Amino acid sequence: MVHLTRFERTRLISARALQISAGAPPLIKVSKNIDSYTLAKKEFGKEILPLTVLRKLPSGEVLKVQ
Per-residue pLDDT of the chain (66 residues; tens, 9 = 90+): 578 889 999 999 999 999 999 999 999 998 788 999 999 999 999 989 888 889 898 999 998 887
Among 41, 52, 40, 42, CA closest to 8: 52
Candidates 3.40.50.300, 2.60.40.10, 3.90.940.10, 3.30.470.20; correct CATH number of 6-65? 3.90.940.10
pTM of the model: 0.83
What one-character DSSP code corresponds to residue 55?
A: E
